Amino acid sequence: MSEIIDPSAPGKAPSGKSSEAIQRLKPNAVGLVGVMFMAVATAAPITAMVGNVPIAVGFGNGAYAPAGYFVATIVLTLFAIGYAAMSKHITATGAFYGYISHGLGRIVGLGAGFLTALAYMVFEASLIGIFSFFGNDLFKSFFDVDVPWIVFAVVMLAVNTVLTYFDINLAAKVLGVFLITEIVMLALMALSVVFTGGGPQGWSLGSLNPLNGFQSLTGEVAGTDGSMIAVAGSAGVGLFFAFWSWVGFESSAMYGEESRNPKKIIPIAVVSSVIGIGAFYVIVSWLAIVGTGPQNAIALAQDSETAGNIFFNPVHEHLGTWAVDLFKILLMTGSFACGMAFHNCAARYLYAIGRENVVPGMRKTIGATHPVHGSPYIAGFVQTAFAAVVVLFFDLSGRDPYTELYGLMALLGTTAIMIVQALAAFSVISYFHVHKRHPETAHWFKTFLAPLLGGTGMLYVIYLLAKNASFAAGDAATDWIFAAIPYVVGIVGIGGVLLALFLKFKDPNRYAELGRTVLQESHER
């Protein structure tokens, strides 16, 4: 059974045994475009490209980095096909939490819910770090003023809190503006390379062959000073950073309760987001490498000081200095948009768990919605407080906003979310083929083979993460926080499992509600 929320009655009590009404989010607040803006914003295209592609080029699969993105697109599309099939029947703000609870059971589901909440909560803190780093760098470059990074962090925390207080439509509009500008900028760079006849070293068509994504960088290239330098990398590093660039795309499903006709638009948003982001990443990364020159790109990527020039050089050559300056501004606004999107994700996961009264009193606090705006405003305040504590800790302990706040919190969140994504893929198979739910939707490819391959791919990415975590952390790998990441993930995930087991034996009624609050128009039949 599922707790059913009546979409036409925001304050109506559910059909379950609880005497307290479940307060729902504002219905029909956002359409397909708004949902896709929210999902794509969490992937942060401009930050993902400028931040991750140079690492893949310099220390992963070299000029074949776009092929790595092609591989990631294929695997994540397979995952998305099964994920979309489940979203047709279960519409819940706690998307992964609800899906895994229905597919693999309430015990695994609550553990997954805790891990997902952790991931989104630390992702906001992570993006505050990189936003503050870009803000500090921008003010020093443009105005020769060294503004402490914590100032930018406080501003971002405050704005995110205000936007979460109102309904999702306002946040979607703000994100839409930022997202469109960064996509236009990347597209201009790519088109400028095409219309000027390519780059100095040919079109590098091998970069588009997905099989080349598994080739490791090796050999020699001419350095920026003309001398030959030996280069080497691991295809696993390139593939990991390619997959990392997608983190957050799955968030489209959590906006189902606030969207119009969720059974139709959420599956479309899930699959379209993956394919759209993937195609864009492959083309943009390929043309950036072509525009710079494959060998030149590898040489530039060896030094973090010049790595960004893989993108900046074609922009400067074909569009001018103004475009490079705009590019740097959009790096800042893009990271802000990404952090805002993750703030919304975190608030909704806290709300989703809270409204089921997992701990007595949560339904009236973090599980409550604003009486006018229908937003998870208390959960939003809780998320702001959590992010503020994390940010202040890194500031007061003298840690760097980029390598440590951004890098370490991103690794923590990515570790948690990758585990949940793998569980979600296998929950699709269990839901349709073990529990035999909705045989009219069950399909040998869409709900079995696709999620099986997608889930297996996710397990491979988790292996890559474990193998390359020290490299991904860089200088921060010596920090005790880095060493604590697997323990934090284990404690949070196991904590959710143990709480579910406790409720199963001590409070069966509360246990029965876990992961079962769904929207009426797509509830279990």
Per residue in 415-439, pLDDT tens? 999 999 999 999 999 999 999 999 9
Amino acid (one-letter) located at 432: F
Cα→Cα distances 196→34, 289, 294, Å: 35, 14, 17
Q: What is the pLDDT of residue 432?
A: 96
Q: How does DSSP assign 46-90, residue by residue? A: HHHHHHHHHHHHHHTSGGGHHHHHHHHHHHHHHHHHHHHHHHTT-
Strands 218-222 and 517-519: unpaired
Does 511 score more than 70 pLDDT? yes
Neighbours of 98 (CB within 10 A): 29
CB 160 within 8 A of CB 342: no
For residues 207 and 284, the answer to whether their CB atoms sit within 8 Å is no
Average pLDDT over residues 313-332: 93
Three-state SS sequence of 384-405: HHHHHHHHHHHHHCCCCHHHHH
Return the pLDDT at 524.
Answer: 41
Lowest mean pLDDT among 48-52, 329-333, 370-374, 456-460: 370-374
Structure tokens at 393: 């800790």
pLDDT tens string 160-207: 998 878 767 777 777 788 888 999 999 999 999 999 998 888 899 999
Distance CA 285, CA 279 (A): 10
Pair 100, 253: CB distance under 8 Å: no
pLDDT-above-70 percentage for the chain: 94
The reported pLDDT for the residue numbered 2 is: 54
pLDDT tens track for 69-100: 999 999 999 999 999 999 989 988 888 999 99
Q: What is the mean pLDDT of residues 357-361?
A: 87
User: Does residue 3 register a pLDDT over 70?
Assistant: no
307 pLDDT exceeds 80?
yes
Q: Which of 277, 306, 312 is nearest to 291 (CA)?
A: 312
Q: What is the pLDDT of residue 223?
A: 77
Residue 158, CB half-sphere, CA atoms under 13 Å: how many? 6
pLDDT at position 253: 86
Q: Is the Cα dihedral 427, 428, 433, 435 positive or negative?
A: positive
Question: What pLDDT, on the 0 to 100 scale, is given for residue 15?
Answer: 43
Q: What percent of the chain has pLDDT over 90?
A: 66
Tokens 């490079």 — which residue?
324
Please, how many CA atoms are within 13 Å of residue 190, restricted to the half-sphere of its CB?
17
3-state secondary structure 404-451: HHHHHHHHHHHHHHHHHHHHHHHHHHHHHHHCCCCCCCCCCHHHHHHH
User: What does pLDDT average to over the chain?
Assistant: 89
Residue 133 has pLDDT above 90, yes or no: yes
pLDDT at residue 519 in the model: 61
